[in-house]
Structure 1
Amino acid sequence: MLPQANRLKHRRDFQAVYQKGIRRSGRYFTLRGLRQRPKISNKSIKVRTESIVVSKPPTRIGISISQKVSKKAVVRNRIKRQIRGVLRHLLPRISSGWNLAIIVQPTAVTCDYAEFLRELEQLLAEAEVINGN
């Protein structure tokens, strides 16, 4: 599982990513991404002065897989588990402040973990989401 703070769950968040975000496509996945606005908060210090703290929210990731990929829920769930495993591996390298939606293509049924890793890493690098590339 991905940590709770890194999950994109709500319909309105997915819709915002689809409507306003960038799009990168590969053989097995389509990556949609939208940069989040930084959160600004006023925190008072003991000396009664205010400082403005700007923090980037964590990157949130959602996976969308339709019945067009496979009619069998077992197959779809296996693919989602493999994608989450790849994302756990890549999460430390992903820069913060993004909403990402990963849409699985029907060709992903024949894919294995190494191919998922290679393609997701490539799509994240193209979208300039991964640090260090």
Structure 2
Amino acid sequence: MKIYVTSVFVDDQAKALDFYTGKLGFIKKNDIPVDGENRWLTVVSPDAPDGVELLLEPSGHPAVRPFKQALVADGIPMTSFQVDDIGAQYERLTALGVAFTLPPTDAGPVKMAVLDDTCGNLIQIVQMVGSP
């Protein structure tokens, strides 16, 4: 068994696609109309185009908004992405106007930072650095 798709709830799929491709550097994998304005919209890492897909899931279900608001209020990221050089990614993303709620910070075997995806989520990026 392996992970095929994982989701992040987004307030606006078009805005999310722009952010996740234009800022974070993912590439669009699927864009299939589902119902009304909703789409089966996935992105993948350019390093693994046949790997795990991230579904930019519409936030339409009534439970999603309070769930996302509670996570953001408590500073809890919706998901986490691994990077090779967190300092370089922080500089690159900051230059693109991405807002961080936590700059690169040592956390034992990882360095981590938390950014706002502009679609209602906090996203963590991590760099593996070894044993604490």
Bigger radius of gyration: 1
The structure with higher relative contact order (CA 8 Å, sep 6+) is 1
The question of a shared fold, defined as TM-score above 0.5 by the shorter chain, is answered with: no
- Higher-helix-fraction structure: 1
What's the TM-score once normalised by structure 2's chain length? 0.25
- Higher-strand-fraction structure: 2
